[in-house]
Each structure stands twice: as structure tokens, then as C-alpha cells.
Structure 1
Amino acid sequence: MPSLSGATRILNRKNTYEESAKATLVYFWSMSCSECAQSIKNLKELERIFGDRLTVHAIHMPREKEDYSETLVKEKIKQLDIIYPVYLDNELKISDRFGNKFVPAFYIFDQQQQLRFFKAGYFALKLLQQKIERII
């Protein structure tokens, strides 16, 4: 799994990586992406299903000018009730390290931090639960 270092800021930092987690989901999103807001709502169901067997890290990848506003991103996080860590990737360091160009985008890593699944786009959500179950 590529490093998550280089974020402009990490919000919800208290929810850090769990060593006991069997899978890690790295989710790229942007507050200006309507599909991303819906995806986040669906990710809450995965959190409920998998609990502490799944760790989620959200990487906020700006696409438009207002996406660079930490204040606006914080408001969106509150509105969407996001509880997992949100990495503000305003300099695209994390996005570049992953080679990610899309939102929403989903990367699932196993406990050994090996990439086991990648998919971009809203419809990837349909595959996530099945892929996570296979890893766990």
C-alpha cells in the first residue's frame, strides 16, 4: 500500500489505522462530486457490516477551486457524518503516489498491505462488499 503521507492536513485523525484490521479501504473522493456523496453514505453500511475488521481512509482529492477550502471540506464532512480519517490531498501527493485520477475510487488492501482490488466510479460500490468478504 502506498504511503498516506503528504496530506495538507488530516481531519478525524483520532480514527487511525487499526493493526487488527484484516482489510484497508482507501477511498478517493471530492466534495464537488455528487457520486462521491452517495458513495460515502453507502460506505457507512460497509462499516456497519465489517466493524473493526475494516479500516477506512478517505483521501479528499480536489477537482474544483472550492475543493481546496478546508472550511468547506470540514462542513461537508460534518454534513455527511464522516467518522474515518480524511486526508486533505491539496497538493495531490497521495493521489500521485497511488496513480489515481478519478473520484470516487476504491482501493482495497489486505492485512499485508497488498492491493487486492481497485475500481473507480460509483458502480464499484456493488463489488466492494464481496471483495472485502473475500479478503477477510
Structure 2
Amino acid sequence: MTTDRSQAEPGSPWRRRWLKVGGVILALAGLGLAGHLLARDDLGPMPSLAGAQAWINSPPLDAPALKGKVVLVDFWTWDCINCKRSMPYVNQWAKRYADQGLVVVGVHTPEYDYEHDVGNLRQKVRSLDIGYPVAVDNDYRIWNAWGNQFWPAHYFVDRKGQVRHVHFGEGDYAGQEQVIRELLAEPST
């Protein structure tokens, strides 16, 4: 697995791949279909989780720490209505599948200035009963490394560290849970 930030550099294969995907997403968004993405393909290695201002519920995580696990990276922000609606599902998956090898990593990337307050975020994490690791991405370092553009955004990573599925926005929770089950059923070698 690569944790090299150059993946998101202009002209990198990762960046070009996501720019193409972004064009498709924008076209589908116009049709109201953006949430029903992407095909279960190998979308490249998991980008870095480095650069968080702080971590809640965990020490800093990186690719080696997550090796052999199925990972759901959830980009969210606490005052986003769409994030509030998807959060119960993410919480439920984190609890339901933890013993089978799922690790949910929340990446809190604030949309509004008042969402940058880490104390308020810690309080929100407690009140939302979030027990999984949350990276405080106030400087958008993780957001940029992943080339993300949406709240919520769910990136599903297999045990080998490859991004295999992405879902932007609300909805298709049964489909997303099926992706989790399929990835957990795959061998780690």
C-alpha cells in the first residue's frame, strides 16, 4: 500500500482516475443518480490518512495499521444534514461488523468555520455515540489526498488496501452493507 501524497498530485494516475470518475458523478448528479456509484472495481490503493490535526477514539491510523482489515472511510461533517441521515447506518455497520474485520474511519472535514472547533467535535462524537476512530481533518489534508468532493462520501477498501467501491451522498444503505459483506467474505491473501 502506498501512503505517498503524490497520488493526489496533478497528473498522477490516482488523480486522473478520480477526475474521470468525478465527471461521471457530475453527470449522474444531474440525473439524481450520484448516490448509486461506483462499480465494484479496483480503484487503486488506499490514499493516505496522514495529516489529521488530531484523532478521536484512536491513535493515528495509517495503511500498515489497517492491513488485513476491510476499511470504510466516511468523510463527514457534523452539521451536514445528509451526514446526519447516513450516520446511524455507519454507526450500525461499525458495531455489527467490527468482530469480522471491518474498521470504520470517520474523517471529519468541516464545511463551516464553526465546525473546526475540536472540543465541539469531541462533544458531537460522544453525543452521536461514535466509537470508531475519527480523524480531525481541519486542514483538508486527508480530503485532498483522497481527492474527495462530497459529504458524506464512503470509500470501501479491501483487505489488500485497494479502494473497491465508493458511494457519495445518502441512500442505498442495503447496497453499501452488501459491499461490506462481500469484502469481508474475500480472503486476505
TM-score, normalization by structure 2 = 0.66
State the 1:135 CA deviation: 1.1
What residue identity is the alignment partner of 1:35? N
Aligned residues: 135
The range that moved more, 93-102 or 7-16, is 7-16
Q: Which residue of 2 aligns with 1:3?
A: 48
State the 1:73 CA deviation: 0.8
Secondary structure of the 2:74 match is strand
Give the fraction of aligned pairs with identical amino acids, expressed as a percent: 30
CA contact (8 A) 1:106 1:124 kept: no
Secondary structure of the 1:48 match is helix
Secondary structure of the 2:156 match is strand
1:30 equivalenced with 2:77 (yes/no): yes
CA contact (8 A) 2:76 2:109 kept: yes
Q: Which residue of 1 aligns with 2:161?
A: 113
The range that moved more, 115-124 or 33-42, is 33-42
> What are the ranges of 5 or more consecutive residues in structure 2 without an aligned counterpart?
1-45, 185-189
Q: Distance in 2 between matches of 1:34 and 1:69?
A: 19
The structure with more radius of gyration:
2
Q: Which residue of 1 aligns with 2:108?
A: 60
Q: Which has the higher strand share?
A: 1
Q: Distance in 2 between matches of 1:80 and 1:62?
A: 16
Superposed CA RMSD: 1.7
Q: Distance in 2 between matches of 1:2 and 1:18?
A: 12
Secondary structure of the 1:107 match is strand
Provide Cα deviations, 1:56-102, integer angstroms capped at 9, x if missing partner: 10000110111111111111101101111111111100000100011
CA contact (8 A) 1:15 1:83 kept: no
What residue identity is the alignment partner of 2:55? I
Q: Distance in 1 between matches of 2:163 and 2:172?
A: 16
| Residues 49-88 of structure 1: pairs in structure 2 closer than 5 A | 49-52=96-99, 53-88=101-136
Q: Which residue of 1 aligns with 2:138?
A: 90
CA contact (8 A) 2:55 2:133 kept: yes
Q: Which residue of 2 aligns with 1:123?
A: 171
Provide Cα deviations, 1:91-120, integer angstroms capped at 9, x if missing partner: 100000100011110000001110110011
Q: Which runs of 4+ in 1 moved over 4 A?
A: 14-20
TM-score, normalization by structure 1 = 0.91
Secondary structure of the 1:57 match is strand
